[in-house]
Amino acid sequence: MTKSIESGIPGFDELIMSDDNEGGITEKSITLIYGPPKTGKSIFCNQFVYHGLLNQEPCLYVTTDHSMKQLQNIMMDFQWYIQNYIENQTLYIIDGISHLSGANLIETNNVKSSSVGNPADMMVKVGIGSRSVYKKSNHFRSVLDSVNTLLSFNLDQMVIRVLKAYIRRIIEAGGTGIIAYTEGSTTPGTENELKSLFDNTIRLDGQNIRYESKFDDINELNNFESAYSITDNGIVVNLK
Amino acid sequence: MKEMLHITGIFDRLSGGNSSEETNQQEENTIEDYEELLKEYKDAEAEIRINIATLYFERENFKESIKNLEKAIEIYTELKDLEKQALVFDLMGDINRFNKKNNSALKHYREAYRIYSEINSDHKIEIQEKIDKIQVNMTAREAETIYDGISPKRTENNNVSSQKSPDYSKISSNIEEVIGMLKGADTYLSYAKSENPMEALESAYDMSSGIGDDAAKSTLLMIMGYVNLEKSKTEDSLKYFNEAFENFQEIDDKIGVAVSSLLIGTAYYIIGNIDMVNSNFRKSIAIFRELKDVFGENVAMRLMNAIYEE
């Protein structure tokens, strides 16, 4: 039975529960969440992070689509308040976009500025960040939202290598993570290569959520699918 | 001149010419033909606006130059010619950058980038490089004051192979400005301020090697050279600069080659080998000129002036 952690998304853990999976996001693995734009990928990531924070689990968040301030505001729309977790250093944020937009981000022990255009710097900071959250707990959550911005600023193959390094780093430190990606942001070849890096994937298409896992048997995928909706409280999977 | 000939061609067509063949041609003109002609006319007007803008730019009347380019944009917008709109935004970015209006330059480059991305043009890569350069430079300038404070203490370090030049502090800020032209330099320069700069830089170098970020790898070598230069380890710094130079050549990064040549020249200046100073500086300036990189050339000239004024 694969060990899992609660996703925090009502209905999701039950949906993917099976003889092999006790329900939830597979522990010490990185899951790819993908789908068309505006289907709730970031909401899923944020809900996953916030659920961890509520349970005192440290989280490492690499934000490349939104600045830290924007991230706080977006989460606030769902009544997920993260300021306290930033202050008590349960949440470690690497902001990869503020610098590019010219905003002045004040760095602290757990808030670091990087740039999507400098992936080596970002990965150095992921290394420091993962060590920092690991010191708090050998079980932590991580989110990278999203790959798209990295692809906009770097060569596809470099981004693939960055993701490999990221996955390795997080898993080695005992983290459980999610990486978000918007379908069609790169060539079909790169997209396939990207998906192949992950044992578990979640696809959101605006109506249905589909979970695929090749963790136990690479020849036979475990598939789970159900409708979902985005509510004021986040994503809810509507079990059949 | 080319544009003028183009316009003349349009006038010829409008006049219908004198030959009977041309007159017959005109009789057959449809509304579509005239609309097409009108488009050509507007296109020519936009090109003239660009020529006027160029002349104003050469006279350093940036305001009028931008004004004419804005008019060209209006025309290209009306003609729905996205590529030319992007081209003009790029020119406006260049003018603002030259005029040290970095924020305006960024705004125009970003607009050009957005349009080139929309039409999937390879030019977006060039624009991205320009955006990166400006951002790097803006941050490097912010960092200048911090570095100015560090440099005087370095004279105490005597356990090194080469001579510490008292002139070094005078060119320190110029060196940073030069390195600031490299991709990612703003970020990686901050490593030089950490408690153990070489350790931090080496760690980032290993990471950049691991992910195949060759440009970052070379930039990091340059900064390691810079840190060594500050510590009066001129021979060591020269090794880093030379390695970066070779890497930049390998990845065909011309700005990188120009920048590393400049700093190789600078290291030779501290060592006292004037022949090598001159040849490396000449190499660097030739590259900036070949690239028509006025900004880069100016930065290089400032460093060279600071050195030659000594």
Put simply, whether A169 touches B (Cβ < 8 Å) is: no
DSSP A112-132: EE--TT-HHHHHHHHHHHHHH
Tell if the CB–CB gap between B211 and A124 is shorter than 8 Å: no
Q: What is the pLDDT of residue B18?
A: 47
User: Of 2.60.40.420, 3.30.470.20, 3.40.640.10, 3.40.50.300, which CATH number belongs to A28-138+145-175?
Assistant: 3.40.50.300
CB contact under 8 A, B213 and A114: no
Secondary structure, 3-state, B128-173: HHHHHHHHHHHHHHHHHHHHHHHHHHHHHCCCCCCCCCCCHHHHHH
Which of B103, B128, B203 shows the shortest C-beta gap to A124?
Answer: B203
Domain boundaries, chain A: 28-138+145-175
- C-alpha B20/C-alpha B34 separation (Å) is 20
Q: What is the pLDDT of residues B87-136, one digit of tens each?
A: 999 999 989 888 878 878 888 888 898 888 888 888 888 888 888 777 66
Domains of chain B: 2-129 (1.25.40.10), 131-308 (1.25.40.10)
Distance CA B40, CA B223 (A): 51
Tens digits of pLDDT across chain A (240 residues):
788 999 999 999 999 998 878 889 999 999 999 999 999 999 999 999 999 999 999 999 999 999 999 999 999 999 999 999 999 999 999 999 998 877 888 999 999 999 999 999 999 999 999 999 999 998 999 999 999 999 999 999 999 999 999 999 999 999 999 999 999 999 999 999 999 999 899 999 999 999 998 755 556 678 899 999 999 999 999 987
Name the closest residue on chain A to residue B131, using Cα atoms. Answer: A100
Tens of pLDDT, residues B199-255: 999 999 999 999 999 999 999 999 999 999 988 899 999 999 999 999 999 999 999
A117–B207 C-beta distance less than 8 A: no
User: Mean of the per-residue pLDDT values for chain A?
Assistant: 93
Q: What is the pLDDT of residue B123?
A: 87
For B213, the closest of A114, A115, A120 (CB atoms) is: A120
Q: Is residue B138 very low, low, confident or very high in pLDDT (cuts 50, 70, 90)?
A: low
Nearest to B211 among A100, A127, A165 (CB): A165
pTM here?
Answer: 0.68
Summarised one tens digit per residue, pLDDT across range A92-128 is: 999 999 988 778 889 999 999 999 999 999 999 999 9
Per-residue model confidence as pLDDT tens digits over B38-70: 988 999 999 999 989 888 888 888 888 999 999
Chain-chain contact of B207 with A157 (C-beta, under 8 angstroms): no
Subunit contact A100:B208, Cβ cutoff 8 A:
no
Of the residues B116, B213, B220, B224, the best mutation for testing chain A's interface (the one with the most A CB atoms within 10 Å of its CB) is B213
Instruction: Name A151's Cβ contacts closer than 8 Å, sequence gap at least 6.
Output: A159, A185, A186, A190
The Cα–Cα gap between B200 and B219 comes to 14
Quick check: A189 contacting B, CB < 8 Å? Answer: no
Complex confidence, ipTM: 0.87
pLDDT at B146: 27
Pick from A107, A124, A154, A167 the residue to mutate for testing the B interface (most B CBs within 10 Å).
Answer: A124
d(CA A20, CA A215): 9
